Structure 1
Amino acid sequence: MPRYPFLAFPVLLVACVFPAVAQETTLQVENVRTEYARVMAATPVYQTLHATSMVERCERSTPVAKVEEDRRGLARVVGAVRDVLAPAEDDEPRTVNERECRMVPVDREFRRPIAYDVDYVHHGIKYRSRLPFDPGNRLRVRVSVTPIVPANER
């Protein structure tokens, strides 16, 4: 049993006498379907990231020339004998095998696609949308048809 039975008749009367008022309160179902559009182009949109990392760089130290000692007395005789008996060395200066290493910053740039600007044609009309993926050669689109009712005809 309704809580207010005396209100049922006036509401029914208003709905019959003024159908426009009753029509506004009902929900109209939208006409929607999906179709496919032909993709003309998909251009990637890139995000550029900059990163700095530390890398160890080593440089060979400069060659060191052989130092001629100032030989006197007995050292002069021993040095002469040693020079004669020692294998012949090239006249090139000796190099030191030590390396000078240090950490240096290296800047790097990375590009990655974050979206795609897609040009497509549906029923002869060109459209452009930005999508998070590459759709391939066809794109599924939502087609909605709703009549326009002018305000003065309500």
Structure 2
Amino acid sequence: MTLLVHLTPAKNVRSIRRAGIRATSPGRNNVTGVYCLPVLPSYQITYQWGRELRRNGQRTLVAVHFRIPDDEPVWVGHYNAPPVQLGSAAAAALIAEQQDARGYELLLPRPIQAAEIHRIRGVNRVTGWRYMPNAHGRPPCGCPVCNPRGAYGAAKIRKAYLDE
């Protein structure tokens, strides 16, 4: 059984304990599912998406740990590359053997039942990266997709982007 973790806002905990996690996240290849990562020895890699998910306004995230069979098909890959379909154990091994596993994601194309949930716990607030892995020291992108109107500091970033 592969142990995976899904990050979600803390306000969803009661619903998740009662009914599990719905498969509503749009993935590539017209697949909807649940985004997650395998639990790895590295805390930072396991919870790497936490800081990026907080950019959408959620301040308190929790980690939902759940187990699925090793041969369960999942989609795995780097966020900016086409995903491949593998068994969950093979996908976890693929992520674990990467030299730099930041930016990898795993999409389980089905809902998680409440009985499959192992535990729910809080997540350290400063874990992960923002914008993209290795973004430190690089100026942020000023396009409207990366910096929508009304986002904190977006006008200043867009002005600097247009002045280049």
**TM-score normalized by structure 1?**
0.18
Question: Which structure carries more strand by proportion?
Answer: 1
Q: Which has the higher contact order (CA 8 A, sep 6+)?
A: 1
Q: Which has the larger radius of gyration?
A: 1
